[in-house]
Structure 1
């Protein structure tokens, strides 16, 4: 049996000036906060990591809802990270996934298990960080 080809990803980033940088992928571009003083109009590297984790969760939900025949009206992901100074790293990440749905509690747990089991970014971050959270019904 032939092994399917592995997915690959390419991002290019470049310094614009002392206040910021840009990253390009496909036909998309992001402004990056690489200013030592910080800037409010762009994601810094830690925020990009948290955004990537949120995007991973959302994409995972999009992937599995048709397979599980899971009906939802919307999803919101809230993530909070705590940075350790020495050595610099994310020491903990807590998340809350709010799903607007009429599905029962057992089905919500099934959705959460799929998010945790099949998320590329989730499974990359989890071994080196205390990563914990809940998936619950939006009120």
Structure 2
């Protein structure tokens, strides 16, 4: 979010810890923030219905966008009734890496276009996951507005 000169620009870094485990031939799991997420960490097998590492990375971007939307609600008084985000990640095999993340954020709001533009600048400028991914590949997206009166 946009800050003023009284906001410290370099606070101590935060630390996040995740532990993971797996059994040969079975699913894996990661534990963090008191929750367990079961995931597919198999190699050479048919895809399972469990999320894999790529899904979790796309989910991290979706969570980042939604958290920054909540932050905008608090810091910028950006008003919305509901939000839904879809993230599409594209990767290549050689060399193995992600090449693009595209998001589509659907908002039920009556905010004017100038405020939507401010929101998008903040989403794309102040998200930790967003900025980390954008440093290594193309990250971009759109905000689609559904007027509050049309939401029902």
TM-score after normalising by structure 2: 0.84
In the alignment, what sits opposite 1:48? 56
Cα deviations by residue, 1:77-114 (Å, 9 ceiling, x for unpaired): 11111110101111111111111101111111111111
Give yes or no for contact 1:11–1:24 (8 Å, CA) kept in 2: yes
Q: CA RMSD in A?
A: 1.5
Matched residues in 1 for 2:17 and 2:75: separation? 29
Q: CA deviation at 1:138?
A: 3.0
Q: Does 1:87 align with 2:95?
A: yes
Secondary structure at 1:18 match in 2: coil
Q: CA deviation at 1:35?
A: 1.9
Select between 17-26 and 116-125 the one with higher mean Cα deviation: 17-26
How many residues are paired up? 137
Correspondence for 1:67 among 51, 75, 87: 75
Cα deviations by residue, 1:17-75 (Å, 9 ceiling, x for unpaired): 413100001211100111222211x2111111000000000011111212111110011
Matched residues in 2 for 1:59 and 1:90: separation? 23
Q: 5+ residue gaps in structure 1?
A: none
Moved over 3 A (4+): none
Matched residues in 1 for 2:112 and 2:75: separation? 17
Matched residues in 2 for 1:87 and 1:138: separation? 40
TM-score after normalising by structure 1: 0.92
